[in-house]
Amino acid sequence: YNDDSPLENMHCAELYRVLGQTETNIFSGMTDSQWRESRKIILTCILGTDMSHHFEQISKVNLFLEVHGSETESFATGNTEEIPQVLHDSDQRLFMMELLLHCSDISNPYKPFQICRAWSHLVVAEFCAQGDREKKEGLEVSPMCDRDAMNLCNMQMGFIEFVVSPLILGVIKMFPSLHGIGSTMNENMREWAA
């Protein structure tokens, strides 16, 4: 994939390999137009989970809120059923789908702490295995992958504070009914700090 989102491109390729089989093609009843549109949405959303797009997505959320926040607030809080004009825009809807899949992909910090902790240990085990392999190959160990310098609690607090929180707080402003995940994230931050 020319080093361009290799993991995410592999996910896209694998999905369409599975869909290429008659017994697993859940889209077989679609028209050509529907299939093309669904493919555009699916590929955009999957490629949007690449962390290299994360901070750009934060900027887009902040811009959306600045330009359309007041327009969408009444709808998002249930005070009106009238759909704001911006939500009729297919590019804006596609961005929201991409954004929500990315938020799901980095959702560990706003899951209940017992789940958050379990997944954090699994992620750190994966990172350390990578660092061990890099050491074995004589390569420089990637950030957060050196088990000898690992501090799980600090790593998780930094992930919440500097990576997840700036995005999720913006998303919660876009979709106020998601305020519960913000509360859970704050509780998890306190647990890691303790």
* pLDDT, tens digit, 9 for 90 and up, residues 84-104: 999 999 999 999 999 999 999
Radius of gyration of the chain (CA): 20
What pLDDT sits at residue 13? Answer: 96
CA dist list (Å): 109 to 50, 140, 165, 182, 184: 18, 28, 9, 9, 8
What pLDDT sits at residue 71? Answer: 85
What pLDDT sits at residue 81? Answer: 87
What pLDDT sits at residue 92? Answer: 95
- The residue ranges of the chain whose pLDDT is under 70 are none
What pLDDT sits at residue 18? Answer: 97
What pLDDT sits at residue 93? Answer: 94
Q: How far is CA 29 from the centre of its chain?
A: 29
Q: What is the pTM of this model?
A: 0.90
> What does the pLDDT look like over 48-59, one tens digit per residue?
999 999 999 999
